[in-house]
Structure 1
């Protein structure tokens, strides 16, 4: 079930939003200020936060910055103001959307659904699974069953590129351009070294894929059928 955090010092707003979101099928956590909201986020995995701007102890702009630094979730700011300066400050703080009070509960629901779709798409594009192997570009981790593997950056990027483009042959020069950039001053042996390291790391851990040498051309990632 999708979990949403509502942060507002107005009890009536909390109860109203809680009612409509619960009826829409969401699980809702409530906080009366930013400090309470951060405590909830430390204990609960939330998928989206709806944050009021004007609150005691910690205003919504500060809370938004705190959330953005530590959690990868969408944020909607609620405010009673409609000044361009407030909107600018909200977006500079890291909010994804902005809703002015008073608002229709249906409009909040529309915005929540749109943001969740957008974030789901972003996460789908950053996480690739192949059999029992998952490569996560957000955390730069490789998971094979219950094992978590942390790779040096260029090895990770090379593996992610191969898995993103299975069964396609790439020359060493193409791989250099994609991973190291066109201004890279090293030679093509760098690719060979990194491919060798990837083979050594994964050959005994999984048979989901193999990085094959295409003689006279380069490399391709072969997927287990």
Structure 2
């Protein structure tokens, strides 16, 4: 697996900015969480993980995130229900959906609730590129 080099810290007049992008990664599969956590952390992101929609909602209430990466197929709440619950919070960050379910109806529903939709399987580099694109669009 080849990953792109980590993004350099942006520079300001007073030197490098210290803002680390904080991500909430939500997937009910522990192995996927661990792999993505490792990849994203190695590229300078601060990553918190949750294995359910309910856990994600609790974390989002307790701490601010710059972006949420959310699997679609989870139980008991799927990613779409989780996104709707998260959107009720003030200051909900953009959401990138991950899904093994391709098809226009899934993508349309995901895009109506989030900023981006990435079909599985994907390379970690694709997710990292999408995260930076969404973060750039939000700033």
TM-score by length of 2: 0.82
Match of residue 82 from structure 1:
102
- Report how far residue 117 of structure 1 moved: 0.9
Work out the CA distance in 1 between the residues paired with 2:28 and 2:101.
16
Question: Is 1:52 the equivalent of 2:90?
Answer: no
Quote the offset at 1:21 in angstroms. Answer: 0.6
Per-residue Cα deviation, 1:54-87 (whole angstroms, up to 9, x for no partner): 1112110011112223233110001101111111
1:107-154 CA distances to partner (integer Å, 9 max, x unpaired)?
00000001111111xxxxxxxxxxxxxxxxxxxxxxxxxxxxxxxxxx
State the shift of 1:8 in Å.
0.1
- More off after superposition, 70-79 vs 25-34: 70-79
Q: Which has the higher contact order (CA 8 A, sep 6+)?
A: 2
Q: Secondary structure at the match of 1:89?
A: helix
Structure 1 counterpart SS, 2:88: helix
Is it true that 1:16 corresponds to 2:15 in the alignment?
A: no
> Helix, strand or coil for the counterpart of 2:93?
coil
> Is the partner of 1:25 in helix, strand or coil?
coil
Unaligned runs of 5+ in 1: 121-225
Could you list the structure 1 runs, at least 4 aligned residues long, displaced by more than 6 angstroms after superposition.
none
Give the Cα–Cα distance (whole angstroms) in 1 for the partners of residues 51 and 92 of structure 2: 22
2:13 maps to 1:2? no
- Find out whether 1:69 has 2:88 as its counterpart: yes
Q: Tell me by how many angstroms 1:88 deviates.
A: 1.4
Show the counterpart of 2:131: 112
Indicate the RMSD between aligned Cα atoms, in angstroms: 1.0
Which has more radius of gyration?
1
Other structure's SS at 2:108 match? helix
1:36 is matched with 55
